[in-house]
């Protein structure tokens, strides 16, 4: 059996204010899962690995790529955690294989950011259960993601976990590099991760110095989406999609969108000024910091970006660009920073008063539809679901569908993430 191995070093992402981890150890917990994985799937020889940096060993066994990745997770302090993952995928470029004379579509590969909890995890689970998707869970906390996947009952061959911290553009670039090294094709990208800081009195900043909510929810995803567009273009999968989560609270044409503080990007002067709270405001519109508004503003950015991607790339590439409001998933980690009373009252309020509540399971199924259902393949759409859980094309607010603002947002964002 031919075994071809290559070792590719890669730089580590570092938060400006934090220390880069430099101690590496192989976790027994992960190590055993890899071993079992190897044995059950390929009966491959056990590859023993002791590595002190980010490395990839690729073994090409009779046309099946086995990628063994050992990634080091960055932490604010000097503790490193090793990630190891092994996955089989069809050789890139072949979207079909023949089994007993029948043509079978290969597994689709979907990258979901923030798949360690809430909607992202529920969608990962729903997709993995179909056995038609391999889910790459792009998460900032590897162990949390591994535990989440295991407790969700996801079968090992249906997912892998890769480190991605959207609060660092370096980490985004490294993720893309690592993903490409894995040899997997990219068929669908879901920009799902987000943070919400409703009780923050003062802004916090990403490694690149941008206000955290917009930095993570919009700018990190903006760079990721732009970089991975090339990979989506190369995919031979029948329906390639790029999905960015939106929300009702960013849309002022709804009751929920009118609960103060209301979203609004103004003339983008704060963003154009660097969103750093020093030379300019930490808010996109140039106003005083408001954590809840920053989140809602970031959601407008997400919805505008999806439409701008559609205008720029859909016709030439055939890629489907979509956004969605999955319903009010009032129980997720998104509200972790809200006051305890809010966290207690919000779910029953949404269940019994607004009736906008949706369970994590149900929301995961909705996102999974946008990933894979043939009926939701239209590009440029902001999907929502009615009371009977039937999908429909929803209307965005005037600001969230403003093409001039979308273009301006695109141009400023390109500069901020180093693409222009
Ligand atoms: C603010 O907090 C932050 O202060 C601000 O910084 C910013 O972050 C902002 O938007 C972000 O949030 C707001 C938070 C403050 O407000 C809420 O939490 C309101 C939403 C939750 C409302 C709970 C309503 C309680 C209803 C109970 C439902 C039980 C369901 C049983 C029904 C059974 C039916 C069969 O929160 C607080 O500080 C404390 C909140 C105290 C409650 C305030 C009550 C407001 C009620 C308004 C609700 C209107 C509902 C209409 C009722 C119709 C009845 C049919
Ligand atoms: P959760 O907090 O449960 O999930 C958010 C995910 O994002 C987590 O996995 C979290 O990781 C991850 N994340 C946060 N910061 C970063 C970062 N810097 N780098 C990488 N990943 C990060 O929230 P939800 O599931 O509710 O939210 C998912 C999406 O759904 C968001 O885009 C949100 O805007 C959208 N949405 C949610 C609604 C709701 O009612 N909940 C309604 C409408 C839209 P970790 O686990 O490590 O914290
Ligand atoms: Mg809102 C009328 C329906 C409705 C819906 C569908 C939502 C969704 N909310 C509705 C109404 C109301 N909310 C009303 C009447 C109030 C005043 C009591 C209210 C309040 C409220 C607060 C304080 N709602 C909130 C908050 C939050 O902190 C959440 C937020 O804004 O997060 C950004 C939130 C939400 N309400 C929703 C949804 C989906 C959210 C959170 C998630 C998000 O937009 O991503």
Say what the pLDDT of residue 101 is.
Answer: 74
The conformational region for residue 259 under phi > 0 = left, psi -120 to 50 = alpha, else beta, is beta
273 has a pLDDT exceeding 90: yes
The token duo for 134 is 């391999």
Q: Please report which ligand is nearest the Cα atom of 295.
A: 3
Q: Please report which ligand is nearest the Cα atom of 200.
A: 1
Q: How far is the C-alpha of 21 from the C-alpha of 75, rounded, in Å?
A: 6
Confirm or reject: Cβ of 328 under 6 Å from ligand 3: yes
Which atom of ligand 3 is nearest the CA belonging to 338?
28
Say what the pLDDT of residue 86 is.
Answer: 35
**pLDDT digit string, tens, across residues 52-88:** 223 333 332 222 233 333 333 333 333 233 333 433 3
Query: Which residue out of 254, 259, 327, 340 has the highest number of ligand 3 atoms within 8 Å of its CB and is therefore the one to mutate?
Result: 259
Confirm or reject: Cβ of 138 under 6 Å from ligand 3: no
Which atom of ligand 2 is nearest the CA belonging to 119?
25
Residue labelled with tokens 């140039």: 286
Q: What is the phi/psi pair of residue 404, to 5°?
A: -70, -45
Shortest-distance Cα residue to atom 36 of ligand 3: 256
**pLDDT digit string, tens, across residues 87-126:** 334 444 456 666 677 778 899 999 999 999 999 999 999 9
ipTM rounded to 2 decimals? 0.86
Least confident of 65-79, 243-257, 264-278, 290-304: 65-79
Say what the pLDDT of residue 104 is.
Answer: 81
Shortest-distance Cα residue to atom 55 of ligand 1: 353
**pLDDT digit string, tens, across residues 217-241:** 999 999 999 999 999 999 999 999 9
Say what the pLDDT of residue 95 is.
Answer: 65
Q: Please report which ligand is nearest the Cα atom of 303.
A: 2
Residue 352 alpha carbon to ligand 3 centre in Å = 13
The DSSP code for 328 is: B
**Catalytic (active site) residue 382:** no
The conformational region for residue 68 under phi > 0 = left, psi -120 to 50 = alpha, else beta, is beta
Cα torsion 220, 90, 232, 371: sign: negative
Q: Please report which ligand is nearest the Cα atom of 354.
A: 3
Shortest-distance Cα residue to atom 45 of ligand 3: 247
**pLDDT digit string, tens, across residues 141-168:** 999 999 999 999 999 999 999 999 999 9
Q: How far is the C-alpha of 370 from the C-alpha of 321, rounded, in Å?
A: 10
Q: Residue 259: exposed, middle, or buried by beta-carbon count in 10 A (0-12, 13-18, 19+)?
A: exposed
Say what the pLDDT of residue 123 is.
Answer: 98
Say what the pLDDT of residue 103 is.
Answer: 74
Say what the pLDDT of residue 356 is.
Answer: 96
36 has a pLDDT exceeding 60: no
**pLDDT digit string, tens, across residues 329-347:** 999 999 999 999 999 999 9
Residues within 6 Å of ligand 2 by CB:
113-114, 116-120, 139-141, 144, 164-167, 192-195, 216, 245, 247, 299, 325-326, 328-330, 332-334
Residue 3 alpha carbon to ligand 1 centre in Å = 61
Which atom of ligand 3 is nearest the CA belonging to 198?
28
Q: How far is the C-alpha of 55 from the C-alpha of 6, rounded, in Å?
A: 9
Q: How far is the C-alpha of 121 from the C-alpha of 123, rounded, in Å?
A: 5
Query: Which residue out of 197, 249, 290, 336 has the highest number of ligand 3 atoms within 8 Å of its CB and is therefore the one to mutate?
Result: 249
Of the candidates 210, 237, 295, 382, the residue annotated as catalytic is: 295
Say what the pLDDT of residue 105 is.
Answer: 87
Q: How far is the C-alpha of 78 from the C-alpha of 23, rounded, in Å?
A: 7
Q: Residue 418: exposed, middle, or buried by beta-carbon count in 10 A (0-12, 13-18, 19+)?
A: exposed
Say what the pLDDT of residue 98 is.
Answer: 67
Mean pLDDT score of the chain: 82
As beta bridge partners, residue 111 has 136, 189
CA angle 214, 219, 225 (to 5 degrees): 140
* Of 71, 74, 93, nearest in space to 84 by CA: 71
């Amino acid at each position: 059996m031919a075994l071809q191995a290559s070792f590719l070093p890669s730089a580590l992402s570092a938060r400006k204010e934090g220390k880069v981890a430099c101690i590496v150890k192989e976790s027994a917990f992960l190590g055993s899962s890899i071993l079992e994985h190897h044995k059950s799937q390929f009966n491959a020889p056990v590859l023993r690995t002791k590595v002190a940096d980010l490395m990839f060993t690729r073994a090409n066994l009779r046309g099946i790529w086995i990628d063994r990745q050992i990634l080091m997770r960055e932490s604010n302090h000097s503790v490193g955690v090793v990630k190891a993952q092994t996955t089989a995928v069809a050789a890139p470029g072949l979207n079909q294989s023949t089994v007993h004379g029948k043509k079978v579509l290969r597994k689709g590969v979907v990258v979901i950011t923030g798949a360690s909890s809430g909607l992202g995890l529920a969608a990962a689970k729903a997709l993995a259960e179909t056995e038609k998707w391999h889910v790459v869970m792009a998460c900032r906390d590897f162990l949390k993601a591994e535990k989440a996947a295991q407790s969700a009952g996801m079968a090992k061959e249906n997912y892998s976990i890769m480190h991605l911290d959207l609060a660092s553009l370096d980490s985004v670039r490294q993720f893309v590099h690592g993903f490409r090294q894995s040899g997997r094709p990219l068929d669908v990208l879901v920009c799902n991760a987000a943070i919400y800081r409703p009780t923050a009195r003062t802004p916090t900043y990403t490694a690149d110095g941008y206000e955290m909510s917009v930095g993570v929810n919009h700018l990190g995803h903006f760079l990721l989406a732009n970089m991975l567009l090339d990979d989506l273009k190369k995919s031979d999968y029948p329906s390639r999609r790029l999905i960015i989560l939106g929300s009702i609270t960013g849309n002022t044409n709804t009751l929920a969108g009118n609960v103060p503080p209301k979203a609004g990007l103004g003339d983008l002067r704060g963003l154009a000024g660097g969103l750093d709270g020093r030379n300019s405001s930490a808010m996109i519109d140039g106003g005083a910091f408001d954590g809840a508004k920053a989140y809602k503003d970031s959601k407008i950015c997400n919805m505008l970006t999806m439409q701008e991607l559609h205008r720029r790339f859909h016709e030439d590439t055939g890629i489907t660009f979509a956004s969605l409001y999955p319903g009010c998933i009032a129980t997720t980690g998104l509200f972790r920073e809200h006051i305890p009373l809010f966290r207690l009252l919000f779910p029953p309020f949404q269940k019994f008063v607004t009736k906008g509540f949706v369970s994590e399971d149900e929301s995961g199924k909705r996102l999974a539809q946008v990933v894979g259902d043939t009926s939701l393949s239209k590009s440029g759409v902001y999907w929502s679901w009615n009371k009977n859980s039937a999908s429909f094309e929803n209307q965005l607010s005037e600001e969230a569908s403003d093409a001039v603002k979308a273009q301006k947002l695109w141009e400023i964002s390109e500069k901020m993430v180093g693409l222009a």
